[in-house]
């Protein structure tokens, strides 16, 4: 039993070093001294009879053997945590920490999922990371660094994952009523592009959806201001001098500023599916399974 615990500790240190790429930071993350971490990894190398780490004056990376074996180490640790959570759930209910990666577009609507989940499982802690891109969330799921993610699944390789659609995000125009007074009804995309626009940065998924849709109409937005935050866009719109295009789901939790109108955009509409993704491996994480159950029971978005 003691040897088994020591092995798990060695694997934990090894995975931390692969993640942090620095001995001191890895030791701090594991709450041990740097010499203790280094010695544990050397013992692991001796037991496996292969070098795992390239050492110089400092950490220089993993060896080819280390790159292969760190994948197994992550899986073993994830399965060990899943086993502990499963056994505990049978005895006292769900406990532990659920690590959830969320794309910025869902950082407001995620509360519609996590709130009922936490209410149903009061002993579970949730760690939210809401500045992730969809591909990054998927990659971290495969490295067992996250238990679940909320992403745009379109255009992302979701092989080996369970995809649970949550809602359809629709882009809408928001602007002060005064700014729209002289605009036709219904407003066209050509009319929209004449407004003083503030939009998400080029390359962000919400902006990419907009650019791709308009490109099909031979149109290109030319915003006067770009930002990496929808909250920043809403703040500018609230001045009455700016218009923006945001996902309608943002407005279900962050109310439009006073005097701002929300105008649906059609011909064509700009939409995208937002989904919950979890590992499809069995038996998998009991916490992730519980989150999927909540997603199937409550409306999100």
44 in Cβ contact with 71 (< 8 Å): no
**Chunked mean pLDDT (size 10), the chain, 301 residues:** 65 85 88 88 87 81 85 79 69 81 89 94 91 89 91 92 94 90 83 94 88 91 92 91 91 80 88 93 83 91 68
Rg of the chain over Cα atoms, rounded to whole angstroms, equals 24
Helix (H, G, I), strand (E, B) or coil at 94: coil
- Asked if residues 198 and 223 have their Cβ atoms less than 8 Å apart, the reply is yes
Contact yes or no for 94/287 (Cβ under 8 A): yes
Contact call for residues 172 and 264 (beta carbons, < 8 A): yes
Say what the pLDDT of residue 146 is.
93
* Helical (H) or strand (E) element with 168: strand 161-176
CA-to-CA distance for 255 and 260, rounded, in angstroms? 10
210 and 270 in contact (C-beta within 8 Å)?
Answer: yes
How much is the pLDDT for 13? 85
Q: Could you tell me how far CA 152 lies from the centroid of its own chain?
A: 10
**Residue 113 near residue 298, CB atoms below 8 Å:** yes
Peptide bond preceding 283 in cis form (omega within 30 of 0): yes
pLDDT given for residue 1 in this prediction: 46
Answer yes or no: are the C-beta atoms of 10 and 40 closer than 8 Å.
yes
What confidence score (pLDDT) does residue 284 get? 75
Provide the b/e sequence for 166-175 (b: ≥16 CB within 10 Å): bbebbbbbbb
Burial of 122 (0-12, 13-18, 19+ CB in 10 A): exposed
């Amino acid at each position: 039993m003691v040897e088994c615990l020591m092995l798990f500790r060695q694997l934990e240190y090894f995975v931390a070093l692969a993640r942090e790429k620095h001995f001191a930071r890895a030791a701090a993350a594991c709450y041990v001294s740097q010499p203790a971490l280094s010695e544990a990894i050397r013992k692991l190398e001796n037991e496996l009879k292969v070098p795992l780490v390239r050492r110089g004056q400092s950490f220089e990376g993993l060896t080819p053997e280390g790159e292969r074996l760190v994948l197994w180490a992550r899986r073993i640790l994830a399965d060990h945590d899943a086993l502990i959570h499963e056994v505990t759930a049978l005895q006292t209910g769900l406990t532990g920490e659920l690590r959830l990666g969320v794309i910025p577009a869902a950082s407001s609507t995620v509360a519609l999922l996590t709130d009922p989940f936490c209410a149903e499982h009061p002993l579970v802690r949730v760690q939210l990371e809401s500045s992730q891109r969809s591909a990054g969330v998927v990659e971290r799921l495969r490295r067992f660094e996250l238990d679940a993610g909320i992403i745009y699944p379109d255009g992302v390789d979701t092989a080996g994952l369970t995809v649970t659609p949550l809602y359809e995000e629709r882009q809408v125009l928001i602007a002060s009523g005064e700014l729209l007074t002289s605009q036709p009804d219904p407003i066209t995309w050509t009319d929209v592009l004449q407004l003083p626009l503030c939009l998400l940065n080029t390359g962000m998924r919400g902006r990419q959806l907009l650019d791709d849709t308009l490109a099909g109409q031979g149109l290109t937005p030319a915003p006067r201001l770009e930002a990496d935050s929808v909250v920043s866009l809403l703040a500018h719109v609230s001045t009455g001098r700016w218009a923006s295009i945001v996902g309608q789901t943002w407005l279900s939790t962050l109310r439009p500023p006073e005097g701002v109108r929300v105008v649906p955009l059609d011909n064509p509409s700009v939409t995208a599916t937002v989904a919950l993704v979890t590992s499809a491996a069995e038996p998998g994480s009991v916490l992730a399974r519980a989150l999927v159950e909540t997603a199937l029971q409550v409306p999100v978005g």
